[in-house]
């Protein structure tokens, strides 16, 4: 048996794809509607055919058959941070595009990722709809909520719902989600405070936040953020959840004090807090889009540990 193959929907920059690739899968086809995400994906997955288009406008006949179908489908309609409109939101209805593709290509495994609130949304009715839809397609389902800090050894508070569905019941029985692991990394395992970065990342004296930041961030430990109420009083030992709105509101990027001043994390530090490897690169996109992509992607080590278990279930 050669490398098991993957078709990826709502791929973004390819965080899920990267985890599958690291385990030994081949990503043969990917799709996203965001042109900037497609640029980043193409720059880092040169051997993958990525189609930048609305999935609802792509005929299932154009999508190749694969062993695994993966999708980190849009989460805003289910998120506690959004309006929680669920399937009433057009973005929520995109789940049924996953079902349409799954029905056409019949993958052995479906891997889905979404926000933690997915299983609680609308008193559980949203998740029941997803579960029943997969069951009607012939899939047996397992799911879990996992955190980057407890399941990926990454110092970020990031809880996500993962759904794994198998066509084969024996494969499902062989699969289990990985257990929690000890967090051994700290913020300073990832962020080097002795390196001088570009001035664009530093808060200047004339910034409206500088005086308050300077009074709150009194040492070079931990990490801070600005939220809806202003500069948070709390110092975080691990990074708060990285969000896509970092690209829209530049002050929502987590903040630290380093040897040269008070600054926002760089896009590459945000990538590191998602567990991406050093060779993953941004190129040809605005910095705002790089931040947005960091917040929209997954924590790669968390996904990789799940994928390790999927790979064993398939191989055995």
Q: What share of the chain is helix, strand, coil (3-state, %, to 5)?
A: 40, 20, 40
How far apart CA 187 and CA 76 sit, in angstroms, is 27
Q: What is the DSSP letter of 234?
A: P
Going by C-alpha positions, the residue among 307, 230, 289, 222 that lies closest to residue 258 is 222
Known catalytic membership, residue 75: yes
Contacts of residue 88, defined as CB under 8 A and 6 or more positions apart, other chains included, come to 77
Active-site entry in 38, 52, 75, 299: 75
Going by C-alpha positions, the residue among 198, 199, 232, 201 that lies closest to residue 215 is 232
User: Parallel, antiparallel, or unpaired for β 68-71 and 5-9?
Assistant: parallel
Contacts of residue 140, defined as CB under 8 A and 6 or more positions apart, other chains included, come to 165, 166, 167, 169, 172
Catalytic residues: 75
């Amino acid at each position: 048996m050669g490398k098991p193959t993957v078709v990826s929907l709502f791929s973004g920059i390819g965080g899920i794809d990267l985890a599958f690739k690291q385990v030994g899968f081949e990503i043969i086809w990917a799709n996203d509607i965001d042109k900037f995400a497609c640029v980043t994906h193409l720059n880092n997955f040169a051997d993958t055919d990525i189609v930048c288009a609305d999935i609802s406008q792509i005929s299932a006949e154009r999508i190749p058959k694969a062993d695994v179908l993966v999708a980190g489908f849009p989460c805003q309609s289910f998120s506690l941070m959004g309006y929680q409109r669920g399937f009433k939101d057009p973005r929520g209805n995109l789940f049924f595009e996953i079902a349409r593709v799954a029905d056409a290509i019949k993958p052995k495994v479906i891997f889905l990722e979404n926000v933690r609130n997915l299983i609680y949304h609308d008193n559980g009715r949203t998740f029941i709809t997803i579960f029943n839809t997969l069951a009607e397609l012939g899939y047996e389902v397992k799911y879990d909520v996992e955190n980057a800090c407890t399941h990926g050894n990454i110092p970020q508070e990031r809880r996500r719902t993962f759904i794994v569905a198998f066509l084969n019941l024996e494969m499902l029985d062989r699969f289990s989600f990985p257990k929690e692991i000890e967090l051994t990394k700290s913020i300073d395992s990832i962020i080097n405070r002795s390196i001088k970065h570009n001035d664009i990342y530093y808060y200047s004296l004339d910034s409206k936040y500088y005086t308050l930041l300077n009074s709150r961030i009194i040492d070079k430990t931990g990490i801070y953020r600005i939220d809806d109420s202003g500069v948070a009083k709390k110092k975080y030992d691990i990074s708060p959840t990285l969000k896509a709105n970092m690209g829209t509101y530049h002050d929502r990027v987590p903040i630290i004090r380093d040897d040269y001043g008070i600054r926002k994390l760089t896009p590459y530090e945000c990538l590191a807090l998602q567990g991406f490897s050093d060779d993953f690169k941004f190129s040809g996109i605005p910095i705002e889009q790089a931040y947005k992509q960091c917040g929209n992607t997954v924590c790669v080590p968390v996904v990789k540990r799940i994928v390790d278990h999927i790979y064993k279930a398939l191989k055995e």
